[in-house]
Structure 1
Amino acid sequence: MTITRRRGVLLGATALAVALAATACGSSSSSGGSKGSGGSGGSSQSATVTDADLQAALTAGGNLTVWAWEPTLKKVVADFQTKYPNVHVNLVNAGTGNDEYKALQNAVQAGKGVPDVAHIEYYALGQFELTKSVVNLDQFGAAALNGTFTPGPWNAVQSNGGVYGLPMDSGPMAMFYNKTVFDKAGITTPPATWDEYIADAKKIHAADPTAYITNDTGDAGFTTSMIWQAGGKPYTVDGTNVGVNFAGDPGTAKFTAAWQQMIDGHLLAPISSWSDPWYQGMNTGKIASLVTGGWMPASLESGVKNGSGQWRVAPMPQWTAGGKVTAENGGSGLSVMKAGTNQKLAYAFLKYATVDEGAQSRVDNGAFPATVKQLNSPDFLNKTNPYFGDQKINQVLAQSASEVAPGWSYLPFQVYANSVFNDTAGKAYIGGSSLADGLKAWQDASTKYAKDQGFTVK
């Protein structure tokens, strides 16, 4: 249940320069999602810590500091300490998303105050792997967990044959929509393609000029997820060699052609996500749908109470009729920090929280699973949700998780790249440029930053 607010934070130039010098020969591949399809998780480092070693660490106990904002971890920590009474976990909310990353980067650079475990979203993991701030978990046998997690999240925590975190949740995309609003506009079947989605956007806005099928004022994470689903691969990453190519990417062209119609037709509510007007818009039926990650239900239930019984979940619209391709939006894992004082105990906590009892506890408390076991559980799949008219929404979301397009990579400085999205591509949403031109400007800004920091740009 990771809510991704991409405000942006600059990756420390000093730390990045040091990391680039250390990897000048391209010895460390880094991306928020690793190269390939999330397959083998093959390790370049053999396991040197056994299960017996981990159990001994749990028995001996000690103190752990965990930085995380994810709410279901509170119950996980309490249960973990009950099971292992010699372990004390200090769970600290050091900020949400980029606020935490800034604090974490500062602690790493200062060489003090670094937690043992950190909660890191998939798109941001690459910067910490590149700066060698997180531990390669292969030494604990993490590669053997291949098959435990769904392909998207498992792909996202790998880099260059190593595993740098254990997936905690995922964000397979689907369409959440207000059936009442759709019905009033004469839409009896949710759109199966993006062409149908655009047509339905026109119907909703024509029926009520103050209503919109969705909102968008420019969001880097949504944009890259849409390009991902369209088969785009604008980012290439091989260690310190990176490429950014929105201008020549076919998937990007699909997205810009469709979304430019939405912008030109004034079919997008000019409201930023996660703002008070955004919640108000959904509560009043003025924002009728969201295409986003599978973690969204809990946010709708808590923030859009007027929509109870009205909302439904449908598969993500497709770029090609009859297609079955999705993407991820959001999601995060837990990583062991290299500066931590008890790495064995930290990994034992990771495994408890993401694979063992904690995985089920988190799902029971509203998280969307990254684990195959929980995702395929009949109890999970057949659970009805009264907010969504007693629909078995997990069946739609689980299907989406199995259809995520393989091979997506994020930049090792994606946090920075996202921070300049609104100053480049974002201008298209206020009439400053076309979306294609805006993405080219984003490409140029990202490329310039890469060169300035010492990356080799293809």
Structure 2
Amino acid sequence: MSITRNGRITAGAVVAVLATSLTACSAGGGGGGGSDEGATAEEIEAALQEGGTIDYWTWTPQAEKQIEAFEAAYPNMTVNLTDTQGAEEHNTALQNAIAADKGIPDVAQLEYQSVPQFQLPGQLTDLTAYGLGEHEDLFTPSTWGAVALADGLWGLPQDSGPMALFYNADVFEENDLVVPTTWDEYVEQARKLKQSDPEKFLFNDDGNGPGGVTSMIWQAGGKPFQVDGDTVTIDLADEGTQKWAETYQQLLDEDLMSNITGWSDEWYQALGDGTIASTIVGAWMPGIFEDGVPGGAGAWRVAPMPTYDGTPVNAENGGSADVIPAGADDKLLAAGFLQWLNTDPESIQAFLDTGGFPATVAELGSEEFLGYESEYFGGQKINEVLAAGAGDVVEGWQYLPWQSYANSIFSDTVGQAYLDKSSLLDGLAAWQEENVRYGQEQGFTVNG
């Protein structure tokens, strides 16, 4: 639900995050705030009733309404909101605060891909000591798996981003295209559109989007990153990765996709006028369409992700959790607020009312949510498609402990294949080589 959901942070900030990773692990710092912390549900509720002040850092646009509802439920509580604008700015500011041991928020948003990066050096609080592990059944398995790592619980899921195919129904009708259910069909429809109207493209990729690529590798069954403590295995030539690369290579070699810079004014315009006829992205995208692509109102629709053999299977693209930094001033109140923020029905409804896509099973299955008819998407019940996609997400995906750094070098490795129209597999091999080198420099044992 944020256009910066796949944002990258600077390499320097990542180095700062990882500089003490293995030292923290060997010293027992991976447990976040320490074994003497924790509280019962009764103690958390009593603390909220007594009240106090906490600081919350997030870039989600839903935060103001959620905080308003929280403070109404707990009149003695005050939540100071800092809008950090986006993932890149947020991660850098959070790491700077942690490094300075000053101004650390009590609760902070983190993209799922960034959770390991902060957890491994002991910079997050293990929430199991506060009883929050009991909420596992409230959330989808994929989002829970993103925060339940290394025998701990390092956050609660805020939203999810199951992937879907968003397509311009007007362009499809005008060019006699069919909605593809497999990737072979998708490539065929891309060829057909190029023949029918060379000024239009079925897809766009500027070569700078590692989040989209890793999500599609995930959907193809790839598991290129495996992390076990300080041992990391990287295999960007596994079966699933190769399956994705071989299919995608056809789009690249045959000039079947445009390369407009993603999230630019030109990109929004191309979505609005039909120059880009489809996009494959997370379930948070409808709000982006409504706000940023007014010219496409009524034309766009949502369909399930194409698959390799027609069997429904999916992956996540983006999504965030809320965490408590290890250096937070008031972890008891923070635990209470974080729990309310991500489990209370009033908070979740406020999140949904302002365009968020839930990670909670109950909301994904509710008649009200599934029955929502989107005027922008021609009256389609888009949540039926998106919620079904959430149930098809493949489990077992892992991110690198330095995923943000890996993302920052994507355009210099895999991205070069887009520019040169060369081998994606060669680009992936270069990405792997650089990540192996970097991980070893940070003190990890890296196999690859």
Aligned-pair CA distance for 1:293: 0.5
User: Distance in 1 between the 2:351 and 2:199 partners?
Assistant: 38
From the superposition, tell whether residues 331 and 14 of structure 1 become closer, same or farther in structure 2 (CA, over 3 Å). closer
Aligned-pair CA distance for 1:433: 3.3
The question of whether the paired residues in 1 share the 8 Å contact of 2:252 and 2:421 is answered with no
Match of 2:431 in 1: 442
Match of 2:227 in 1: 237
Aligned-pair CA distance for 1:245: 1.0
Match of 1:20 in 2: 22
Number of residue equivalences: 442
From the superposition, tell whether residues 45 and 24 of structure 1 become closer, same or farther in structure 2 (CA, over 3 Å). closer
2:280 equivalent to 1:291? yes
SS class of match (1:147): helix
2:257 equivalent to 1:268? yes
User: Distance in 2 between the 1:146 and 1:376 partners?
Assistant: 16
2:3 equivalent to 1:5? no
Aligned partner of 2:135 among 128, 137, 145: 145
From the superposition, tell whether residues 276 and 213 of structure 1 become closer, same or farther in structure 2 (CA, over 3 Å). same
2:353 equivalent to 1:353? no
From the superposition, tell whether residues 443 and 26 of structure 1 become closer, same or farther in structure 2 (CA, over 3 Å). farther
The question of whether the paired residues in 2 share the 8 Å contact of 1:45 and 1:162 is answered with no
The question of whether the paired residues in 2 share the 8 Å contact of 1:47 and 1:141 is answered with no
Aligned-pair CA distance for 1:351: 1.3
What does 1:5-84 correspond to in 2, within 5 Å?
5-10=6-11, 11-24=13-26, 48-84=38-74
TM-score, reference length from structure 2: 0.95
Match of 1:162 in 2: 152
Aligned-pair CA distance for 1:95: 3.4
Match of 1:328 in 2: 316
TM-score, reference length from structure 1: 0.93
From the superposition, tell whether residues 58 and 394 of structure 1 become closer, same or farther in structure 2 (CA, over 3 Å). same
From the superposition, tell whether residues 419 and 14 of structure 1 become closer, same or farther in structure 2 (CA, over 3 Å). closer
Aligned partner of 1:314 among 303, 306, 321: 303
Match of 2:192 in 1: 203
From the superposition, tell whether residues 149 and 255 of structure 1 become closer, same or farther in structure 2 (CA, over 3 Å). same
Paired residue type of 2:322: L
The question of whether the paired residues in 2 share the 8 Å contact of 1:420 and 1:442 is answered with yes
Paired residue type of 1:116: D
Aligned-pair CA distance for 1:7: 2.9
The question of whether the paired residues in 1 share the 8 Å contact of 2:159 and 2:358 is answered with yes
Aligned-pair CA distance for 1:123: 0.5
Give 5+ residue unaligned stretches, structure 2: none
Aligned partner of 2:170 among 157, 169, 180: 180
What does 1:113-124 correspond to in 2, within 5 Å?
113-124=103-114
Aligned-pair CA distance for 1:90: 0.8
Deviations 1:228-283 (A, max 9, x none): 00000100100110011112x00010011011100111111111211111001011
The question of whether the paired residues in 2 share the 8 Å contact of 1:384 and 1:391 is answered with yes
Deviations 1:360-419 (A, max 9, x none): 211122100000111111000011111111111100001000000010000011010000
Match of 2:330 in 1: 342
Give 5+ residue unaligned stretches, structure 1: 31-43
The question of whether the paired residues in 1 share the 8 Å contact of 2:24 and 2:120 is answered with no
Greater alpha carbon shift after TM alignment, 21-30 vs 166-175:
21-30
Match of 1:362 in 2: 351
SS class of match (1:23): helix
User: Distance in 2 between the 1:429 and 1:311 partners?
Assistant: 27
The question of whether the paired residues in 1 share the 8 Å contact of 2:25 and 2:122 is answered with no
Paired residue type of 2:391: S
Aligned-pair CA distance for 1:22: 2.8
The question of whether the paired residues in 1 share the 8 Å contact of 2:125 and 2:325 is answered with yes
Greater alpha carbon shift after TM alignment, 79-88 vs 228-237:
79-88
Paired residue type of 1:399: A
Q: CA RMSD in A?
A: 1.9
User: Distance in 2 between the 1:29 and 1:126 partners?
Assistant: 12
